[in-house]
Structure 1
Amino acid sequence: MSPVATQPNAHAEGNSISQASVKQVSGQAAPEAGRVPPDLLSGLRELVAPPRFDSDSEKREYLKFRLAQAFRIFGHLGYDEGAAGHITVRDNIRPDCFWVNPFGKHFSLIQPADLILVDHEGHIQDESGPIRRLNRAAYMIHSAIHAARPDVNCAAHSHSIYGRAFSTLGKELEMITQDSCAFYNDIAVYRQFGGVVLEAEEGEHIVEALGDKKAAILQNHGLLVTGGSIESAVFFYIALEKCCQVQLLADAAADGTNTKTIKISPEEALYTYKVIGSEFAGKVNAATHYQMLEARESLDWESYKAKVL
């Protein structure tokens, strides 16, 4: 188990959790969940620390840069389905607005200048890029999330294959692997399908089902993941897609061998969640995906800033 998280839930940070989390394993007391050696913790914080900004405008450009990178990561992973899918990030200057991809542009091609700034009423703002086609479904889902959840700065939804397949079952994600424990008691199932989300009421229903959790399985639709940062939302979306794939494979194998998958106990699942299910853990793990993207493109923030800003 990789000790990357240091906080007791998915939306807060710290360096320890309560003594109540100490558990017994084979008669021996396990280390306190989330306890990270100071030198390792310092290194992890350095790994995920954003750059320093000279102005709010520069920070906005950084958020747009990271969001555009997120789309290209999704595109590389094959999470596109025509014009469907969207990721949004709350604007740091105008928190009642969020940035979103223009409708009809492939994830792999999206650059910061393409992004649209939209308020919670669906009005496209002057700061937007030249392609001002707003995906109505994106607005209906994400505006409801950003309005209801001030802790959410990013939300991601796409029609990825395994999440879509899993969503047809209308069932819970089961705690059958260490990785699935990142979603222990932190994922909802929205058990209705009202067609393409074109009305505000459907977005509100999704938000109600999501509650205070970081992810939701939208029945007959796909996956929805939120985060306090772009990076955590990106990683946990990727992680959830893989968890859906694993459960589909495991269930098929169990059926084929007339057995059942072995479930992780609630105590073990909670212990593991506190290590790998946090906002901090999401950002640490996302760093690897961003590293790969920047290596492929030979473009990081400092290079982009020098070239564009």
Structure 2
Amino acid sequence: MFPQNTPFPPKFNDALQEREYLKKKLTGAFRIFGKFGFSEGVAGHITVRDPKHKDHFWVNPFGLSFNLITPADLLLVNHKGDVVEGNLPLNKAAFAIHSQIHEARPDVVAAAHAHSVYGKTFSALGQELLPITQDACAFYKDHTLFNDYSGIVNELEEGKRIAAALGDTKAAILQNHGLITVGHSVDEAAWWFITMERTCQAQLLAMQTGEKLIEIDHEVAMKTRAELGFPLAGYFQFQPMWQDISVALDFIRV
């Protein structure tokens, strides 16, 4: 499906080298989210599972701009909520949500959540995305709706319910809240969030016309999802953005 010499995710024999790679990728993802304006005050977080301690994850500190985060700023947190590395404060909502997702989904390496404008606007509709565009098909029958908003997520029980609603899909619309996406890499989780936000925007714009929305046929939508919505496709589609941000920050290209 991919051309010859297509770059694939690197493999590591050394967990410490992989950790440094993942922290750089996580930092770049935050810078890209900042570039897209996904930040909303102190809201929003992306996490990546630590390759050495599987019940630990790296996360952005509470109250630090996406545009300023460096690998040294990231916090290493265990599933008990202890900050193992880092001196900055931990976002309680980030821990409550991400710890439960990482625990429930051993296959998930990274997860992304933010209060992006179109995602939170679409979430107020209390419905899933329709397969009305090619890009929307990446989420066809592979995202869910969490329709049990009960306020700011500060308790583990809320995180457990979000993880249960997510199930084995790549994304969830958190009603009256926003979007959350997961992936087998930082690249994949970040890309699903970016394209899901744009898909919400596209459907909202289409709905504003007042015209009937033409949905893609089920079989065609499933075929398109198979071509666009698998993990390596998510990883690969993130790479042009990573190339831009890694040059700007003088990151090592990995």
TM-score band by shorter chain is over 0.9
Does 1:270 find its partner at 2:227? Answer: no
| Superposed displacement of residue 56, structure 1 | 1.8
Matches within 5 A, 1:1-309: 36=1, 40=3, 42-44=4-6, 47-50=7-10, 53=12, 55-125=14-84, 128-131=85-88, 133-253=89-209, 255=210, 259-301=211-253
Counterparts of 1:298 and 1:155, CA distance in 2: 25
* Maintained 8 Å contact 1:175/1:181: yes
Query: Could you report, residue by residue, the CA deviation over 1:105-130 in whole angstroms, capped at 9, with x for unpaired residues?
Result: 000100000000111110111xx233
| Superposed displacement of residue 43, structure 1 | 2.4
Instruction: Name the SS for the 1:156 alignment partner.
Output: strand
* Maintained 8 Å contact 1:65/1:301: no
Match for residue 30 of structure 1? Answer: none
Distance 1:54-1:174 versus aligned 2 partners, 3 A rule: closer
Counterparts of 1:268 and 1:167, CA distance in 2: 26
Counterparts of 2:93 and 2:87, CA distance in 1: 20
TM-score by length of 2: 0.97
Long gaps (5+) in structure 2? none
Counterparts of 2:245 and 2:82, CA distance in 1: 32
Counterparts of 2:17 and 2:184, CA distance in 1: 19
| Superposed displacement of residue 49, structure 1 | 3.0
Counterparts of 1:49 and 1:117, CA distance in 2: 23
Residues 292-301 or 161-170, more deviating: 292-301
Q: Size of the alignment, in residue pairs?
A: 254
| Superposed displacement of residue 191, structure 1 | 0.8
Counterparts of 1:106 and 1:55, CA distance in 2: 31
Counterparts of 2:251 and 2:107, CA distance in 1: 30
Q: RMSD of the TM alignment (CA)?
A: 1.3
Query: Could you report, residue by residue, the CA deviation over 1:30-77 in whole angstroms, capped at 9, with x for unpaired residues?
Result: xxxxxx26xx1x322xx2332x65732111111111111111110111
Counterparts of 1:49 and 1:201, CA distance in 2: 34
* Maintained 8 Å contact 1:48/1:287: no
TM-score by length of 1: 0.80
| Superposed displacement of residue 298, structure 1 | 3.4
Matching residue's letter, 2:181: V
